[in-house]
């Protein structure tokens, strides 16, 4: 969906689904506040949020995951696109993106010494051991929330997870759009002033 367009919603389905919003913005202080105001005003809770600068200087990307119905999410998308410093907001349903989260698990190093069970679990889950210190060991796993949760549940059986953190989602779309080209095209569009013939 382009910044300038009107998002046509075909059906006004009321059922709540998970959506991923990817928002490219100018790197400006206060934008996060601006974005959260839009969700807050409509009583929509943000499930996951990731903000980061992009490969393009001065451009940031917000990746926001929310539960909402289609009608509501499109109105939110339009409001986001309306923000002056937003370059473009894109809406994805399940299956339209590749996404990952990263989780870190801090375990007591002692449990690795009681046989190879923990190590097997780590390997089986495609996780890796990041750091081993005398008193603690850090495991890193990337994946979906389900996958990182599964590893958590398995490790939890040993009763020794000291700390667990999970990042917000990062997502790339399956579309062919190139971010740099998108910005270039934006700069070219002549919609800055009214041209009445």
Partner 1 sequence: MKKISGSDAIMQVLLNEGVQTIFGYPGGAIMPIYDALYDYSDKLNHILARHEQGAIHAAQGYSRVSGKVGVCFATSGPGATNLITGLADAQIDSTPLVCITGQVPSHLLGTDAFQESDVIGISMPVTKWNHQITNADEIPEIMSKAFYIAASGRPGPVLIDITKDAQFAKMKFTYKKCEKIRSYHPYPILNKDSIKKASDLINNSKKPLILVGQGVLLSNAEKELIQFSEKSGIPMASTLLGLSAISCNHKNYVGYLGMHGNYGPNIKTNEADLLIAIGMRFDDRVTGDTSRYGINAKIIHIEIDPSEINKIIKADVAVNADAKQALINLLPFINKNEYKNWINEFKKCDEIEFNKIIKKELNHKSKKIKMTEVIHLISEMTNGKSIIVTDVGQHQMIASRYYKFTKPKSNITSGGLGTMGFALPASMGAKLGQPKREVIAIIGDGGIQMTIQELATISQYNIGVKIIILNNNFLGMVRQWQELFFENRYSFTEMKNPDFPKIAEGYGIKNNKVENKSKLKKCIKELLDYKNAYLLEIVVEKEENVFPMVASGDSVSNIRLE
Q: Give me the least distance between CB of 52 and partner 1, in Å please.
A: 18
Residues in contact with 154: Cβ distance below 8 Å, sequence separation at least 6, in sequence order: 121, 125
- Please, which residue, 77 or 122, has the CB nearer to partner 1? 77
Question: From the CB of 6, what's the least distance to partner 1, in Å?
Answer: 5
Give min distance, CB of 158 to partner 1, in A. Answer: 45
User: Helix H segments across 9-159?
Assistant: 31-41, 70-82, 110-113, 117-124, 145-156
Find the distance separating the first CA and the last CA of the chain, reported in whole Å.
Answer: 28
Nearer to partner 1, 24 or 151 (CB): 24
SS3 state at 75 = helix
Q: Is 114 helix (H, G, I), strand (E, B) or coil?
A: coil
Query: Min. distance of Cβ 94 from partner 1 in angstroms?
Result: 23
Residues linked to residue 17 through DSSP beta bridges, in sequence order: 68
CB of 44 to partner 1, least distance (A): 15
Distance between CA atoms of residues 170 and 172, nearest Å: 7
| Cβ neighbours for 99, distance < 8 A, ≥ 6 positions apart | 20, 144, 169, 170, 171, 172
Q: Which is nearer to partner 1, 14 or 193 (CB)?
A: 193
- The residue (of 30 and 115) whose beta carbon lies closer to partner 1 is 30
Interface with partner 1 by CB under 8 A: which residues? 3-9, 12, 25-26, 30, 33-34, 37, 41, 74-75, 78-79, 81-82, 84-87, 183, 186-187, 189-197
- Which residue from 31, 34, 38, 36 is spatially nearest to 49, judged by alpha carbons? 36
Between 30 and 95, CB nearer to partner 1? 30
């Amino acid at each position: 969906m382009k910044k300038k367009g009107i998002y046509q919603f075909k059906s006004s389905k009321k059922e709540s689904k998970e959506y991923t919003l990817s928002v490219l913005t100018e790197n400006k202080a206060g934008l996060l506040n601006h974005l959260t105001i839009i969700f807050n005003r409509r009583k929509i809770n943000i499930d996951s949020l990731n903000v980061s600068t992009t490969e393009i200087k001065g451009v940031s990307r917000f990746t926001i995951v929310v539960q909402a119905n289609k009608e509501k999410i499109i109105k939110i998308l339009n409001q986001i696109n309306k923000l002056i410093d937003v370059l473009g907001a894109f809406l994805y349903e399940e299956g339209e993106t590749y996404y990952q989260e990263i989780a870190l698990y801090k375990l007591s190093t002692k449990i690795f010494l009681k046989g190879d069970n923990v190590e097997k679990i780590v390997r089986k889950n495609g996780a890796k051991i990041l750091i081993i210190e005398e008193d603690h060991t850090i495991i890193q796993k990337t994946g979906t929330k389900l996958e990182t949760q599964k590893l958590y549940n398995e490790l939890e059986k040993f009763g020794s997870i000291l700390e667990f953190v999970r990042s917000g989602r990062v997502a790339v779309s399956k579309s062919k759009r190139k971010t740099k080209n998108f910005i270039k095209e934006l700069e070219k569009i002549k919609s800055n002033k009214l041209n009445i013939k």
